[in-house]
Amino acid sequence: MKKSIIIISLIVLSVVLIILGLVAFSYTQISASFKDISSVNVELETLSLSYLITLGLDVLSGNWLSAALDVIAGIELGLVFELTNNGLLPVYIPELEYDLSINGIYIGTGSSVIDATINPGEAKQINVTQNFQKKSLSPSIESIINNNGIIDVEIKGVAYFELTGFKIPFEFESSKQVSIVDEIQKQFTQQSLP
Protein backbone atom coordinates (compact mmCIF):
# COMPACT_ATOMS: atom_id res chain seq x y z
CA MET A 1 0.00 0.00 0.00
CA LYS A 2 2.77 2.44 0.94
CA LYS A 3 4.66 1.49 -2.20
CA SER A 4 1.65 2.21 -4.42
CA ILE A 5 1.11 5.63 -2.75
CA ILE A 6 4.80 6.46 -3.26
CA ILE A 7 4.65 5.31 -6.90
CA ILE A 8 1.47 7.30 -7.59
CA SER A 9 2.98 10.36 -5.87
CA LEU A 10 6.15 10.04 -7.97
CA ILE A 11 4.09 9.68 -11.18
CA VAL A 12 1.97 12.74 -10.31
CA LEU A 13 5.09 14.72 -9.39
CA SER A 14 6.79 13.66 -12.65
CA VAL A 15 3.75 14.69 -14.71
CA VAL A 16 3.60 18.07 -12.94
CA LEU A 17 7.34 18.61 -13.46
CA ILE A 18 7.04 17.66 -17.16
CA ILE A 19 4.12 20.07 -17.64
CA LEU A 20 5.99 22.87 -15.84
CA GLY A 21 9.07 22.11 -17.95
CA LEU A 22 7.02 22.30 -21.17
CA VAL A 23 5.48 25.60 -20.07
CA ALA A 24 8.88 27.02 -19.11
CA PHE A 25 10.43 25.83 -22.39
CA SER A 26 7.57 27.28 -24.45
CA TYR A 27 7.85 30.64 -22.76
CA THR A 28 11.61 30.78 -23.30
CA GLN A 29 11.08 30.22 -27.02
CA ILE A 30 9.15 33.45 -27.56
CA SER A 31 10.77 36.28 -29.46
CA ALA A 32 9.68 39.76 -30.40
CA SER A 33 11.27 42.09 -32.90
CA PHE A 34 10.73 45.39 -34.65
CA LYS A 35 10.51 44.11 -38.24
CA ASP A 36 9.81 47.04 -40.49
CA ILE A 37 8.45 50.51 -41.10
CA SER A 38 5.39 49.83 -43.25
CA SER A 39 4.52 53.44 -43.96
CA VAL A 40 5.74 56.97 -43.40
CA ASN A 41 3.20 59.76 -43.68
CA VAL A 42 4.54 63.27 -43.45
CA GLU A 43 2.09 65.98 -42.42
CA LEU A 44 3.14 69.29 -43.92
CA GLU A 45 2.65 72.76 -42.47
CA THR A 46 0.12 75.03 -44.13
CA LEU A 47 2.25 77.02 -46.52
CA SER A 48 1.52 80.75 -46.56
CA LEU A 49 3.28 83.19 -48.88
CA SER A 50 5.57 84.50 -46.11
CA TYR A 51 6.40 80.93 -45.11
CA LEU A 52 7.27 80.07 -48.72
CA ILE A 53 9.52 83.14 -48.98
CA THR A 54 11.37 82.12 -45.80
CA LEU A 55 11.77 78.58 -47.15
CA GLY A 56 13.02 79.95 -50.47
CA LEU A 57 15.65 82.04 -48.68
CA ASP A 58 16.77 78.99 -46.68
CA VAL A 59 17.14 76.99 -49.89
CA LEU A 60 19.07 79.81 -51.59
CA SER A 61 21.44 80.01 -48.64
CA GLY A 62 22.19 76.28 -48.95
CA ASN A 63 20.06 75.13 -46.04
CA TRP A 64 17.75 73.05 -48.25
CA LEU A 65 17.46 70.11 -45.82
CA SER A 66 16.73 72.42 -42.91
CA ALA A 67 14.12 74.15 -45.05
CA ALA A 68 12.58 70.79 -45.96
CA LEU A 69 12.40 69.77 -42.31
CA ASP A 70 10.80 73.12 -41.43
CA VAL A 71 7.74 72.25 -43.53
CA ILE A 72 7.05 69.11 -41.47
CA ALA A 73 4.19 69.47 -38.99
CA GLY A 74 4.33 65.84 -37.94
CA ILE A 75 5.26 62.32 -38.96
CA GLU A 76 3.19 59.16 -38.70
CA LEU A 77 5.15 55.90 -38.77
CA GLY A 78 3.59 52.51 -39.38
CA LEU A 79 5.67 50.16 -37.23
CA VAL A 80 5.58 46.40 -37.77
CA PHE A 81 6.45 44.11 -34.87
CA GLU A 82 6.76 40.34 -35.17
CA LEU A 83 6.06 37.94 -32.32
CA THR A 84 7.24 34.35 -32.77
CA ASN A 85 6.54 31.24 -30.71
CA ASN A 86 9.04 28.41 -31.28
CA GLY A 87 7.86 26.55 -28.19
CA LEU A 88 5.50 23.62 -27.72
CA LEU A 89 2.51 25.38 -26.12
CA PRO A 90 0.36 28.37 -27.15
CA VAL A 91 1.46 31.67 -25.64
CA TYR A 92 -0.82 34.60 -24.78
CA ILE A 93 0.68 38.07 -25.39
CA PRO A 94 -1.46 40.87 -23.90
CA GLU A 95 0.69 43.92 -24.75
CA LEU A 96 4.03 45.45 -25.63
CA GLU A 97 5.71 48.70 -24.63
CA TYR A 98 8.72 50.42 -26.17
CA ASP A 99 11.03 53.42 -26.08
CA LEU A 100 11.67 55.06 -29.42
CA SER A 101 14.77 56.97 -30.49
CA ILE A 102 15.63 58.73 -33.73
CA ASN A 103 19.33 58.79 -34.61
CA GLY A 104 20.17 57.87 -31.03
CA ILE A 105 18.08 60.66 -29.52
CA TYR A 106 15.23 59.58 -27.25
CA ILE A 107 11.87 60.74 -28.64
CA GLY A 108 9.27 59.04 -26.47
CA THR A 109 7.44 55.87 -25.53
CA GLY A 110 4.75 53.85 -27.18
CA SER A 111 2.62 50.85 -26.40
CA SER A 112 0.13 48.56 -28.05
CA VAL A 113 -2.47 46.15 -26.78
CA ILE A 114 -1.75 42.89 -28.59
CA ASP A 115 -4.32 40.56 -26.99
CA ALA A 116 -3.24 37.60 -29.12
CA THR A 117 -2.46 33.96 -28.59
CA ILE A 118 0.46 32.71 -30.65
CA ASN A 119 0.41 29.00 -31.35
CA PRO A 120 3.52 26.81 -31.50
CA GLY A 121 5.56 27.46 -34.64
CA GLU A 122 3.54 30.58 -35.45
CA ALA A 123 4.69 34.14 -36.07
CA LYS A 124 2.29 37.08 -35.97
CA GLN A 125 2.89 40.56 -37.28
CA ILE A 126 1.47 43.42 -35.25
CA ASN A 127 1.00 46.84 -36.85
CA VAL A 128 1.30 49.91 -34.63
CA THR A 129 0.87 53.53 -35.70
CA GLN A 130 3.19 56.00 -33.99
CA ASN A 131 2.59 59.74 -34.40
CA PHE A 132 5.16 62.48 -33.78
CA GLN A 133 4.47 66.17 -33.81
CA LYS A 134 7.16 68.70 -34.72
CA LYS A 135 7.70 69.54 -31.05
CA SER A 136 8.70 65.97 -30.14
CA LEU A 137 10.97 65.71 -33.20
CA SER A 138 12.82 68.96 -32.45
CA PRO A 139 15.68 67.39 -30.45
CA SER A 140 16.55 65.09 -33.37
CA ILE A 141 16.32 67.66 -36.21
CA GLU A 142 20.05 68.48 -36.14
CA SER A 143 20.99 64.79 -36.28
CA ILE A 144 18.61 64.27 -39.24
CA ILE A 145 20.32 67.16 -41.05
CA ASN A 146 23.78 65.76 -40.20
CA ASN A 147 22.70 62.34 -41.57
CA ASN A 148 21.47 63.86 -44.87
CA GLY A 149 17.82 63.24 -44.03
CA ILE A 150 18.22 59.63 -42.90
CA ILE A 151 16.17 58.70 -39.84
CA ASP A 152 17.42 55.69 -37.91
CA VAL A 153 14.39 54.54 -35.90
CA GLU A 154 15.55 52.55 -32.87
CA ILE A 155 13.14 50.67 -30.64
CA LYS A 156 13.93 49.08 -27.29
CA GLY A 157 10.90 47.36 -25.92
CA VAL A 158 9.31 44.83 -23.67
CA ALA A 159 6.62 42.40 -24.75
CA TYR A 160 4.68 40.61 -22.06
CA PHE A 161 3.33 37.09 -21.97
CA GLU A 162 0.76 36.06 -19.44
CA LEU A 163 1.05 32.95 -17.33
CA THR A 164 -1.61 32.19 -14.71
CA GLY A 165 -2.47 35.86 -14.35
CA PHE A 166 1.13 37.08 -14.11
CA LYS A 167 2.66 39.26 -16.81
CA ILE A 168 6.20 38.15 -17.53
CA PRO A 169 8.34 40.55 -19.60
CA PHE A 170 10.84 39.74 -22.33
CA GLU A 171 12.93 42.42 -23.99
CA PHE A 172 13.66 43.17 -27.63
CA GLU A 173 15.65 45.79 -29.52
CA SER A 174 15.95 46.67 -33.20
CA SER A 175 16.32 49.55 -35.65
CA LYS A 176 15.34 50.48 -39.20
CA GLN A 177 16.24 53.42 -41.45
CA VAL A 178 14.11 55.67 -43.64
CA SER A 179 14.94 58.72 -45.74
CA ILE A 180 12.78 61.64 -44.65
CA VAL A 181 13.85 63.57 -47.77
CA ASP A 182 12.28 60.88 -49.99
CA GLU A 183 9.11 60.96 -47.89
CA ILE A 184 8.84 64.77 -48.09
CA GLN A 185 9.30 64.60 -51.87
CA LYS A 186 6.49 62.01 -52.07
CA GLN A 187 4.20 64.28 -50.03
CA PHE A 188 4.91 67.29 -52.26
CA THR A 189 4.31 65.16 -55.36
CA GLN A 190 1.01 63.84 -54.00
CA GLN A 191 -0.18 67.31 -52.97
CA SER A 192 0.72 68.86 -56.32
CA LEU A 193 -1.18 66.22 -58.31
CA PRO A 194 -4.77 67.24 -59.19
Which CATH number belongs to the domain containing residue 112 in this structure?
2.60.40.10
169 bridge partner residues: 160
Rounded-to-10 torsion of CA 182, 188, 193, 194: 150
Residue 118 to residue 86: CA distance in whole angstroms: 10
User: What's the confidence (pLDDT) of residue 122?
Assistant: 93
User: What's the confidence (pLDDT) of residue 66?
Assistant: 64
Residue 137 to residue 91: CA distance in whole angstroms: 36
Any idea which of 1-10, 116-125, 139-148 has the lowest mean pLDDT?
139-148
CB atoms within 10 A of CB 42: 20
Any idea which of 5-19, 85-99, 113-127, 162-176 has the lowest mean pLDDT?
162-176
Residue 25 to residue 118: CA distance in whole angstroms: 15
Look up the domain containing 26 and give its range. Answer: 2-192
Q: Is the pTM of this model over 0.75?
A: no
Note whether 83 and 28 are within 8 A (CB): no
What is the band of 183 on the pLDDT scale with cuts at 50, 70, 90? confident
**How do residues 77-116 score in pLDDT, each as one tens digit?**
888 999 998 888 788 889 999 999 988 889 888 888 888 8
Any idea which of 63-67, 126-130, 146-150 has the lowest mean pLDDT?
63-67
57 or 81: which carries more pLDDT confidence?
A: 81
Put the strands of the sheet holding 72-85 in their side by side order.
30-44, 72-85, 122-133
CB atoms within 10 A of CB 171: 10
> Residue range 42-56: average pLDDT?
68
Note whether 55 and 67 are within 8 A (CB): yes
Is the pLDDT score of 145 beyond 80?
no
What's the total number of domains in the chain? Answer: 1
Percentage of the residues of the chain whose pLDDT score is greater than 70? 80
User: What's the confidence (pLDDT) of residue 102?
Assistant: 87
User: What's the confidence (pLDDT) of residue 97?
Assistant: 92
Residue 192 to residue 194: CA distance in whole angstroms: 6
